């Protein structure tokens, strides 16, 4: 089955794009003309904790499922990070998810931060800075963070296809969806205390490696995010809002004590929805659930409608902890990818988009704007822009110019077209053949045990043997 949503690449003029948005009933404003030069809204610097950051683009964290088994970067990781440096974006939000311990890896090839890997991860950061210097000269206006994580329910440390979950509570839908019995053991409070120490250990290495900030990941269904919905969990880490955020508060205290001067950021799934599954026609539909659904942070008790009350409370908490860097994302790639990374072509294990992907883009932008409006002191980074394709710069400029977000983050687009931010800032015509069309091969590949990369558009991946394997997996009838 293929979807028949109108392709963005066909919307060649601002009027056509505007009309299409109107047809969809979407209020997604954009600037018809992108400005370049020093006065461009996207070229404006901003400051955070006394540092000046040179423009309004960020590279979002993008992992490749390609590090060495013992958690070191290799040439593929190095290539990706160099390309992040080439992008022209002055904020590097996290680079990619890096586990605080082996058991917390989302796959056996995820980077791990420890005494053994700190030097090679420091080299990765230096390579990015060097690449940025080669292309743009100035580097003192770059801000670079590393994303620290524990994959929790989605840990696969030893085998790409085998979950070895660490869960906080019996989730009524996710336990069965991922074949966990309802009595599957949950992490104890002592286990959690030990993990907090591990985050502290890793943060010390992050500082040693020269990063400006550490992102304490709270998104996409991984452990940090699961705390926020741990309403049913007894004890000091579950139930009340205060208890569900104790993990973050304790990690923050640990980092401040052990790595003073290291800035802290949080990437947050600001809203979540009930898990989706393919319906009879292949299109995504919400799972059935009878009763109060209390497990989607940032949604109401139907699990189908956004409710940002607790999200606002969470951002208030961040401000009170003097955490000013916040990257907004949504949901999870494992159970509702369409709200997180809107795509025309879903990953092979997913479902056909239940809505025009532009709806998903507009949803993230609108939520981000609401959060920014109520929390003007935070530096807010938005996500989910890649599906805008030719219109990314137009929407980005409008968002930044009107204060709907401080920074525009770019994820998948950076894999196919790393220097898109630089081209937009320089007022160049975009190279259409490098624009990400959201084929989702970067997700389908790792879901099938392969390294991630842009197989359709990046010649480097196109020519790899993995590209043939992927093509056969996607189109078995052609073999
Ligand atoms: C291949 C791939 C790897 C990703 N890796 C990470 C990651 O390590 N950490 C994270 O927070 N988000 C990760 N994401 C999510 C992206 O950062 C981003 O939120 C998402 O792709 C939507 O932004 P976009 O529309 O610009 O792609 C990943 C997404 C993809 C497609």
Q: Could you please report the per-residue DSSP string of 53-77?
A: E--SEEEPP---S-S-TTS---HHH
* Listed residue (148, 145, 149) closest to 48, CA to CA: 145
Question: Regarding beta strands 379-382 and 325-330, do their DSSP bridges make them parallel or antiparallel, or are they unpaired?
Answer: parallel
pLDDT band at residue 4 under the 50/70/90 scheme: confident
pLDDT by residue (tens digit) across 351-395? 999 999 999 999 999 999 999 999 999 999 999 999 999 999 999
Ligand 1 centroid – CA 290 distance (Å)? 32
Ligand 1 centroid – CA 336 distance (Å)? 14
Q: Rounded CA gap, 395 and 52, in Å? A: 24
% of the chain beyond a pLDDT of 90: 96
The whole-number average pLDDT for the span 155-183 is 97
Atom nearest to 329 CA in ligand 1? 19
Residue 224 pLDDT more than 70?
yes
Give 449's contacts (C-beta < 8 A, 6+ positions apart): 160, 161
Q: Rounded CA gap, 179 and 198, in Å? A: 28
The whole-number average pLDDT for the span 310-334 is 98
Residue 9: both structure tokens together = 């690449």
pLDDT by residue (tens digit) across 385-442? 999 999 999 999 999 999 999 999 999 999 999 999 999 999 999 999 999 999 999 9
Strand partners, 16: none
Residue 479 pLDDT more than 60?
no
Q: Rounded CA gap, 10 and 17, in Å? A: 9
Q: 110 CB under 6 A from ligand 1?
A: no
% of the chain beyond a pLDDT of 70: 99
Ligand 1 centroid – CA 193 distance (Å)? 28
* Listed residue (146, 122, 119) closest to 59, CA to CA: 146
By the 10 Å C-beta count (0-12 exposed, 13-18 middle, 19+ buried), 217 is classed as buried
pLDDT at 232: 96
pLDDT at 159: 96
Q: For a pocket test of ligand 1, which of 62, 66, 409 has the largest count of ligand atoms closer than 8 A to its C-beta?
A: 62
Q: For a pocket test of ligand 1, which of 8, 57, 58, 60 has the largest count of ligand atoms closer than 8 A to its C-beta?
A: 60
Ligand 1 centroid – CA 410 distance (Å)? 9
Q: 452 CB under 6 A from ligand 1?
A: yes
Q: 413 CB under 6 A from ligand 1?
A: yes
Q: 364 CB under 6 A from ligand 1?
A: no
Ligand 1 centroid – CA 178 distance (Å)? 21
Atom nearest to 219 CA in ligand 1? 11
Q: Rounded CA gap, 57 and 87, in Å? A: 9
Give 249's contacts (C-beta < 8 A, 6+ positions apart): 317, 321
H or E segment at 53?
Answer: strand 51-53
- The pTM assigned to this predicted structure is 0.98
Q: Rounded CA gap, 317 and 375, in Å? A: 11
Neighbours of 476 (CB within 10 A): 8
Burial 407-436 (b: 16+ CB within 10 A, else e): bbbbbbbbbbbbbbbbbbbeeeebeeebbb
H or E segment at 193?
Answer: helix 189-208
* Listed residue (441, 477, 274, 225) closest to 346, CA to CA: 441
Residue nearest to atom 30 of ligand 1 (CA): 62
Q: How far does CA 127 lie from the centroid of its chain?
A: 22
Ligand 1 centroid – CA 330 distance (Å)? 11
pLDDT by residue (tens digit) across 108-167? 999 999 999 999 999 999 999 999 999 999 999 999 999 999 999 999 999 999 999 999
Q: 96 CB under 6 A from ligand 1?
A: yes
């Amino acid at each position: 089955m293929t979807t028949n949503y109108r392709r963005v690449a066909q919307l060649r003029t601002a009027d056509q794009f505007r009309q299409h948005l109107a047809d969809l009933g979407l209020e997604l404003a954009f600037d018809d003309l992108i400005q370049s030069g020093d006065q461009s809204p996207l070229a404006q610097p901003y400051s955070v904790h006394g540092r000046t950051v040179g423009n309004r683009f960020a590279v979002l964290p993008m992992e490749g499922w390609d590090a060495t088994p013992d958690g070191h970067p290799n040439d593929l990781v190095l290539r990706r990070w160099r390309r992040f440096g080439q992008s022209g974006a002055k904020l590097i939000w996290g680079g990619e998810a890096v586990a605080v311990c082996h058991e917390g890896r989302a796959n056996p090839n995820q980077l791990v931060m420890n005494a053994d890997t700190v030097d090679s991860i420091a080299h990765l950061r230096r390579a990015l800075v060097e690449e940025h210097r080669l292309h743009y000269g100035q580097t003192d206006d770059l801000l670079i963070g590393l994303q620290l994580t524990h994959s929790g329910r989605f840990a696969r440390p030893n085998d790409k296809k085998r979950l070895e979950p660490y869960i906080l509570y019996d989730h009524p839908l996710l336990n069965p969806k991922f074949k966990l019995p309802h009595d599957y053991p949950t992490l104890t409070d002592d286990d959690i205390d030990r993990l907090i120490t591990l985050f502290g250990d890793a943060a010390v290495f992050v500082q040693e490696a020269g990063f400006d900030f550490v992102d304490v990941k709270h998104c996409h269904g991984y452990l940090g995010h699961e705390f926020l919905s741990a309403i049913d969990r007894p004890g000091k880490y579950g139930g009340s809002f205060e208890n569900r955020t104790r993990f973050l508060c304790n990690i923050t205290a640990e980092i401040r004590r052990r790595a003073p001067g290291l800035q802290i950021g949080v990437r947050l799934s600001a809203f979540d929805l009930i898990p989706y599954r393919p319906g009879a026609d292949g299109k995504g539909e919400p799972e059935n659930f009878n009763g109060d659904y209390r497990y989607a942070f940032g949604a109401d008790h139907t699990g189908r409608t956004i409710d940002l009350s607790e999200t606002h409370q969470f951002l208030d908490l961040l401000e009170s902890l003097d955490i000013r860097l916040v990257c907004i994302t949504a949901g999870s790639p494992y159970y509702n990818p369409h709200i997180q990374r809107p795509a025309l072509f879903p990953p092979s294990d997913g479902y056909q988009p239940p809505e025009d992907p532009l709806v998903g883009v507009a949803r993230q932008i609108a939520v981000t704007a609401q959060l920014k409006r109520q929390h003007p002191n935070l530096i807010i980074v938005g996500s989910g822009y890649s599906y805008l394709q030719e219109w990314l710069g137009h929407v980005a400029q409008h968002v930044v110019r009107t204060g709907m977000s401080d920074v525009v983050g770019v994820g998948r687009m950076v894999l196919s077209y790393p220097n898109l931010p630089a081209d937009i800032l320089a007022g160049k015509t975009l190279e259409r053949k490098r624009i990400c069309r959201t084929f989702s091969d970067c997700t389908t590949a790792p879901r099938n045990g392969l390294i991630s990369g842009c197989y359709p558009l990046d010649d480097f991946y196109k020519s790899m043997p993995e590209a043939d394997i992927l093509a056969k997996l996607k189109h078995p009838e052609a073999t």
